[in-house]
Amino acid sequence: MSTSAGATGEALAPRELTLRIWRGDAKGGGLVDYTVEAQDGEVVLDVVHRVQATLAGDLAVRWNCKAGKCGSCSAELDGRPRLMCLARLSTFERGVPIVITPLRTFPVIRDLVTDVSFNYRKAEQVPAFQPSADQPVAPFRMAQVDVERSQEMRKCIECWLCQDTCHVIRDHDDNKPAFSGPRFFARYAELDMHPNDGLDRRRLMQEERGLGLCNITKCCTEVCPEGIKITDNAIIPMKERVVDVCYDPVRLLRRRRARG
Amino acid sequence: MSASHERRSYDVVVIGAGGSGLRAAIAAHEAGARTAVVCKSLLGKAHTVMAEGGIAAAMGNLYPEDNWKVHFRDTMRGGKLLNHWRMAELHAKEAPERVWELESWGALFDRTADGLISQRDFGGHRYARLAHVGDRTGLEMIRTLQQRTVSLGIDVLMECTVTDLLRDGDRIAGAFAYWRESGRFVVLEAPAVVLATGGIGKSWKVTSNSWEYTGDGHALALRAGAALLNMEFVQFHPTGMVWPPSVRGILVTESVRGDGGVLRNSEGRRFMFDYIPEFFKAETADSEAEADRWYDDKRNNRRPPELLPRDEVARAINNEIKEGRGSPHGGVFLDIASRRSPDYVRKRLPSMYHQFKELAEVDITAEPMEIGPTCHYVMGGVEVDPDTAASRVPGLYAAGEVAGGMHGANRLGGNSLGDLLVFGKRAGEAAAAHASALGSARPAVADAEVDAAALGALAPFDTEGGENPYSIHHELQEAMQDLVGIIRREHEMQIALKTIHDLSERSKTVSVEGNRQYNPGWNLALDLRNMLLVSEAVALAALERKESRGGHTRDDYPMTDHDFWGKRNVIVEQLPDGGLGIRHQPLPEPPPELAELLEGDH
């Protein structure tokens, strides 16, 4: 059988690499250069750890799984929101420092760690799954084809990169109270598409969670490390579905009459 | 001094927000207890999120002949009969209910053709039994529990690390913690604490575990007076990535083998056929043809040897590599490309496909993976009462990986997620009942204990020019990897113990730079104490058990000794002088109706 396996054959020679890392806290800070040994098989997070272990023991950074499954090590690499554990050194231009800055949309706590509590507040506002009257008690019967659309959304690892890149809040702090952001539009869509959920959250999405503020530039989809088609498979379908409850002329008329 | 710390008061404090912690918190909350969950990372990032394969539960959706008795038998035999029979019984009986409960909270498992929860094959399980979502079951589980926790309004103290348990006499009175964000201290007053801190793998160099896995719960329990059970049993998962170096140890799910993948050496041989132990001969295929037929017809064929319990497979791989039949980077080959279509692989193993593509530039639908053993799980843990998860310290409970007994000498894949749910729920309920039964006779937190905990936590800032915590951690990992790894020898473990003692001494003069605000160097210095204490417990227990069984292989005692060691647990506990003591304790024997299930071929 074949033993050749892509990048696995050749030896990886160590080389010097400079990371230009933002250091500081809420009061301010700046970029600091750290030069350490690195090799092509490594990812940016490996080198950040080396900086931490040898040059800056107090360098603040979040991480957990180091395999793209937990969504902890989000940062901006050369200005682009990415997971540091999936950013292979071989994909960066050699000899050029890699610039690592914290997520810009959220307030800095220290170094690469930001205050992402915005997202946890938005999560608290999501009305939970509620089984339908048809099948109130598990085990449920649901077809694979019917659960798959929601399963795509449930791949989300909550790295907050989509929230970070979304220009509705990235450049407009004042939108934050009225806008849940792409991660939570995906969550609402997932519940809406759940074959056995019995709650209608469409009006809530439109009127209180800011779905209408999204103008589908697809930036969220582009940065998603899980490849979830947030715009096409969550936001656009939800925009279509809220029309039924919010803008249906017959219903509008009925509501007006009801209000008298 | 202690008056200045933030104080919060609860009925139940759960330490850890993985599967068992969240399930415990939900149970305690539903029982009416004021409950808080404390976790070192953000909510949803705990180790459970990395679990891949599935939740073993005998729902019988694909094989109606499956039931709790078969699951019980598989679990006990996989654990080399050293499991606490009552835990294995409760787990096998209650796991299906816990899975359906997740479904009723919104979890979306993969489905069978008739719309039920699909179940997948895994090592050591007689029937396809694992409820799963592709190969990201842990993510589904933690997200479901997290969303449930949030919707119930349970307090979650994120990025908050517990450094000490506080006691009133011998009873639990609360916990002492610091916020990572600010470095400020918080005293959590609570008469009941549930340890749900997971494992200890960060003390080994090649591990699938994250930075959080520093044995905090094991160490907190030891220091609070609880006993640790069978700490010598450490699971090395057979399939971790080996190349490139940066990903060494990252888990490759057992589902690859469950879904048809096979192990081959450099000669292309399916070597697992050479390593079928007597204990499993009757239930394991002895030809490739039979093994291959098993995937479609389990009634008339026996399981492929690639799906033997993890300890057997890890030892076999280790031996192939040692004897020179390994892959170029010191592993062996795991091949699903030549056995299943690219579509099937991408559909069943999307996360593995992604992981190898992104991290190793290997397309697993076209080429074999290179894999080798990686430190994954500790079977040993806090000794608990099976029904309530109570330790011997009043008010202290333990559930999930930090608890011992459930998995015996070796855990079957898929039995961890079920363990978290079954015993998380039981621990939360029992903790809530304990708190409520106390009425007004609650233990009190003494200022002196709080002051001592604060002083201890700040010690690394008092030393200048001392040891670097990262270096000590690195040396500990090297020692545990080389000297208390898969294959163990007496003189090596003695060297390990000496090394651990030296490192413990050096760690007293560890110094950290910067301030208390989100300082990983300081955080590591505090975690290091737990890692050193727990590593010593593992080395002591491993030195003590003079036989080979499950996740404990002695080169100098290669046989399994049923008459002596098969009837006893090894207990490690803290002695009055602060050192660790070791003693034997009889293994509880199952009642005759359960013992009967363990005999015979099936």
Chain A residue numbers touching B117 (CB-CB < 8 A): 139
Facing residue for A67 by CB, picked from B327, B355, B470 = B355
Q: How far apart are CA B428 and CA B421, in angstroms?
A: 11
* Tokens describing residue B452: 């001592």
Residue A169 has pLDDT above 90, yes or no: yes
Q: How high is the pLDDT of residue B3?
A: 53
Chain A CA closest to residue B268: A1
- Cα B203 to Cα B36, B211, B519, B556: the distances in Å are 28, 10, 20, 24
pLDDT tens digits for range B221-279: 999 999 999 999 999 999 999 998 889 999 999 999 999 999 999 999 999 999 999 99
- Cα A149 to Cα A146, A187, B580, B593: the distances in Å are 7, 12, 54, 46
Facing residue for A128 by CB, picked from B151, B158, B517 = B151
Q: How far apart are CA A196 and CA A159, in angstroms?
A: 27
From the list B237, B348, B407, B516, the catalytic residue is B237
At B417, the amino acid letter reads: L
In DSSP terms, B262 is beta-bridged to B335
Q: Give the pLDDT mean for A49-78.
A: 96
Q: Give the pLDDT mean for B199-208.
A: 96
Contact B101 A138 (CB under 8 A): yes
Positions of E strands within B159-218 = 160-168, 171-179, 185-189, 192-195
At A1, the amino acid letter reads: M
Please return the burial class of B278, using the count of CB atoms within 10 Å of its CB with bins 0-12, 13-18 and 19+.
Answer: exposed
Question: How long is chain B?
Answer: 602
At A94, the amino acid letter reads: R
pLDDT tens digits for range A14-51: 899 999 999 999 999 999 999 999 988 899 999 999 99
Q: How far apart are CA B225 and CA B391, in angstroms?
A: 9
Contact A57 B520 (CB under 8 A): yes
Rounded to the nearest angstrom, the gap between the alpha carbon of residue B352 and the centroid of all alpha carbons in its chain is 21
Q: How high is the pLDDT of residue B160?
A: 98
Residue B134 has pLDDT above 70, yes or no: yes
Q: How far apart are CA A100 and CA A36, in angstroms?
A: 15
Contact A1 B474 (CB under 8 A): no
Q: Give the pLDDT mean for B44-67.
A: 96
Facing residue for A68 by CB, picked from B134, B354, B474 = B354
Q: How far apart are CA B252 and CA B242, in angstroms?
A: 10
- Rounded to 5 degrees, φ, ψ at A205 are -60, -45
Nearest-Cα distance to chain A for B57, in Å, is 13
Contact A154 B47 (CB under 8 A): no
For an interface test with A, give the residue of B98, B104, B118, B150 to mutate (most A CBs within 10 A): B104
Least confident segment among A162-171, B456-465, B563-572? B456-465
Chain A residue numbers touching B100 (CB-CB < 8 A): 138-139
Chain B CA closest to residue A154: B140
Work out the number of other CB atoms within 10 angstroms of the CB of residue A132. Answer: 13
Q: What is the dihedral of CA A213, A217, A220, A224, to 10 degrees?
A: 160
Positions of E strands within B196-349 = 228-229, 234-241, 262-264, 332-335
Q: How far apart are CA B225 and CA B392, in angstroms?
A: 8
Residue with tokens 């979040």: A62
Report the first-to-last Cα separation within chain B, whole angstroms: 63
* Tokens describing residue A58: 């107090």
Mean pLDDT of the residues in chain A:
93
- Cα B560 to Cα B277, B337, B462, B549: the distances in Å are 12, 37, 49, 6
Q: How far apart are CA B126 and CA B113, in angstroms?
A: 21
Count of CA atoms in the C-beta half-sphere (13 A) of A158: 24
Nearest-Cα distance to chain A for B40, in Å, is 10
* Tokens describing residue B410: 């070796």
Q: How far apart are CA B244 and CA B48, in angstroms?
A: 25
Tell me which residues of chain B, numbers 32 to 61, contact chain A at a CB-CB cutoff of 8 Å.
41-47, 49-50, 59
Count of CA atoms in the C-beta half-sphere (13 A) of B155: 16
Nearest-Cα distance to chain B for A254, in Å, is 33
Q: How high is the pLDDT of residue B600?
A: 65
Q: How high is the pLDDT of residue A9?
A: 43
Positions of E strands within B19-159 = 35-38, 55-56, 119-120, 130-131, 155-157
Q: What is the dihedral of CA B52, B58, B63, B65, to 10 degrees?
A: 150
Instruction: Please report which helix (H) or strand (E) contains residue B433, including its range.
Output: helix B415-438
For an interface test with B, give the residue of A113, A154, A224 to mutate (most B CBs within 10 A): A154
Residue B383 has pLDDT above 50, yes or no: yes
Top CATH class of B466-578 equals mainly alpha
Q: Does B246 touch chain A (CB under 8 A)?
A: yes
Facing residue for A5 by CB, picked from B268, B354, B362 = B362
Q: How high is the pLDDT of residue A4?
A: 38
Q: Give the pLDDT mean for B417-441.
A: 97
pLDDT tens digits for range A208-234: 999 999 999 999 999 999 999 999 999
* Structural domains of chain A, with CATH: 10-114 (3.10.20.30), 117-251 (1.10.1060.10)
Work out the number of other CB atoms within 10 angstroms of the CB of residue B596. Answer: 12
Specify whether the CB–CB gap between B31 and B150 falls below 8 A.
no
| Number of separate helices (H) and strands (E) present in chain A | 11, 7
Residue B379 has pLDDT above 50, yes or no: yes
Facing residue for B360 by CB, picked from A8, A62, A141 = A8
Closest CA to B58 of B86, B23, B99: B99
More confident residue, B4 or B364: B364
Sorted by where each begins, the domain ranges of chain B are: 238-374, 466-578
Q: How far apart are CA B407 and CA B311, in angstroms?
A: 12
Closest CA to B171 of B446, B456, B453, B385: B446
Q: How high is the pLDDT of residue A5?
A: 38
Q: How far apart are CA A46 and CA A142, in angstroms?
A: 43
Specify whether the CB–CB gap between B58 and B66 falls below 8 A.
yes
Residue B70 has pLDDT above 90, yes or no: yes
| ipTM over cut 0.85 | yes
β pairing state of B332-335 and B160-168:
unpaired
Q: How high is the pLDDT of residue A140?
A: 98
* Tokens describing residue B87: 């835990």
Chain B residue numbers touching A86 (CB-CB < 8 A): 358-359
Q: How far apart are CA B134 and CA B348, in angstroms?
A: 5
| Cis bond upstream, residue A14 (ω within 30) | no
Closest CA to B57 of B117, B139, B7: B117
| Cis bond upstream, residue A177 (ω within 30) | no
Chain A CA closest to residue B102: A138
* Cα-trace Rg, chain B: 23
| Number of separate helices (H) and strands (E) present in chain B | 16, 22
* Tokens describing residue B543: 């030195």
Q: How high is the pLDDT of residue A259?
A: 67
CATH 3.90.700.10 fits B238-374, yes or no: yes
Contact A124 B264 (CB under 8 A): no
- Rounded to 5 degrees, φ, ψ at A77 are -105, 115
Residue A119 has pLDDT above 90, yes or no: yes
- Rounded to 5°, angle at Cα A131 from B90 and A230: 105
Q: Verify whether residue B84 is a known catalytic residue.
A: no
Closest CA to B332 of B257, B288, B411, B270: B270
Q: Does B211 touch chain A (CB under 8 A)?
A: yes
For an interface test with A, give the residue of B26, B37, B40, B45 to mutate (most A CBs within 10 A): B45
Q: How far apart are CA B426 and CA B443, in angstroms?
A: 23
Specify whether the CB–CB gap between A70 and A43 falls below 8 A.
no
Specify whether the CB–CB gap between B404 and B383 falls below 8 A.
yes
Tell me which residues of chain B, numbers 493 to 522, contact chain A at a CB-CB cutoff of 8 Å.
512-515, 517-522
Residue B220 has pLDDT above 70, yes or no: yes
Across chain B, which distance is largest between two alpha carbons, in Å?
Answer: 72
Question: How long is chain A?
Answer: 260
Q: How high is the pLDDT of residue A41?
A: 87
Mean pLDDT of the residues in chain B:
96
Q: Does B468 touch chain A (CB under 8 A)?
A: yes
Nearest-Cα distance to chain A for B58, in Å, is 14
Specify whether the CB–CB gap between B121 and B259 falls below 8 A.
yes
* Tokens describing residue A198: 């019995």
Specify whether the CB–CB gap between A63 and A84 falls below 8 A.
yes
Which residues does B102 contact at the CB level (< 8 Å), separation at least 6?
B140, B141, B144, B145, B421
Least confident segment among A2-11, A21-30, B385-394, B560-569? A2-11
Q: Verify whether residue B257 is a known catalytic residue.
A: yes
Q: How far apart are CA A33 and CA A43, in angstroms?
A: 18
Q: How high is the pLDDT of residue A247?
A: 76
Closest CA to B365 of B256, B271, B258: B256
- Rounded to 5°, angle at Cα A36 from A31 and A37: 150
